[in-house]
Amino acid sequence: KAGVTQTPRYLIKTRGQQVTLSCSPISGHRSVSWYQQTPGQGLQFLFEYFSETQRNKGNFPGRFSGRQFSNSRSEMNVSTLELGDSALYLCASSTDRGLYPNTGELFFGEGSRLTVL
């Protein structure tokens, strides 16, 4: 079974630009979560999607947004990039069947490393 796939793996943007990151979950997984990892703040939860609906959201500004498609693939977008957005963005999927709350293990992709200049 293929793992979680994130694209692109590396990208460089300049301040003010926008970026879209993609995540393909493990086949059959309907829950997709996104995390930002920086040396200073560590791993921080961005949002979680289940069956195309945002089910939970972390404490990030509105410049950070996401969506999930009917095939469970997910994208996240960051608009008006700032230097502080430089980070490793990790996507994770889980076997959540929709029972609240989701308490199971997460399967992570390798991440998309964003550098903002």
Partner 1 sequence: SQQGEEDPQALSIQEGENATMNCSYKTSINNLQWYRQNSGRGLVHLILIRSNEREKHSGRLRVTLDTSKKSSSLLITASRAADTASYFCATIFTGAGSYQLTFGKGTKLSVIP
Summarize as ranges the residues that interact with partner 1 (CB under 8 A): 4, 33, 35, 42-43, 45, 48, 56, 58, 88, 90, 92, 100-111, 113
Q: Looking at beta carbons only, is 75 or 110 nearer to partner 1?
A: 110
Q: Give pairs for 29-32: CB < 8 Å, separation 24+.
A: 29/72, 29/93, 29/94, 29/95, 29/96, 29/107, 30/72, 30/96, 30/97, 30/98, 31/55, 31/93, 31/94, 31/95, 31/96, 31/102, 32/68, 32/72, 32/74, 32/91, 32/92, 32/93
Given the complex with partner 1, which of 16 and 104 has the nearer CB atom? 104
C-beta closer to partner 1: residue 17 or 41: 41
Taking the complex as a whole, the smallest distance from the CB of residue 100 to partner 1 amounts, in Å, to 7
Sheet order of strands, 5-7 included: 5-7, 19-24, 74-78, 64-68
CB of 91 to partner 1, least distance (A): 9
Closest separation in Å from C-beta 26 to partner 1: 12
Please state the closest distance from residue 57 (CB atom) to partner 1, in A: 9
